[in-house]
Amino acid sequence: MIKWDRILKPQHIVIGLNSRKSFEAIRELVSVLDGGKVNVKELAANIIKREREASTGIGKGVAVPHAHQDDIPHQLLALGISQVGIDFASIDDKPVKIIALLATPVKHQKQHMELLAALSRTLQQETIRSQLIAAKDSSQVIDVFLGNSKV
């Protein structure tokens, strides 16, 4: 069971992404993970490289860009909400409004896959997606993941 409150931090949530393109959105989300311990330029480059290999737009307005990196101390999750939608070359060709960006240490590949699966399962739920898009602040986003949503 994923403990969302341990992984998803308010400072890692961007409501109203400014970016209009997928790689810009990745850079915008990676920038909120900068706590001095992570090489954010390298992380953005790694995620963009991964995105060029295959889109992480999983459909229904959701993308889950991700990468592994040595200098990441633990799993990091940034969540971005776009009201207008961003082209992520998704499998259903729909613009992405919810981006869950995941970065994990290279040594934690099993946890990486577990979190990716949990994110995908969670974000495939229409109710969850609607509540996230309607969220006005980061505490409402976290409440959605914790099942305490009042959105």
In a domain, 79, yes or no: yes
> Which one of 66, 68, 74, 108 is the catalytic residue?
66
CATH assignment of the domain containing 55? 3.40.930.10
Q: How many domains does the chain have?
A: 1
**pLDDT score for 149:** 60
Which parts of the chain are beta strand (E)? 8-15, 57-59, 62-63, 66-68, 76-86, 96-104
In a domain, 151, yes or no: no
Q: Is 66 a catalytic residue?
A: yes
**pLDDT score for 123:** 96
**pLDDT score for 27:** 97
pTM: 0.93
Q: What is the pLDDT of residues 113-147, one digit of tens each?
A: 898 899 999 999 999 999 999 999 999 999 999 98
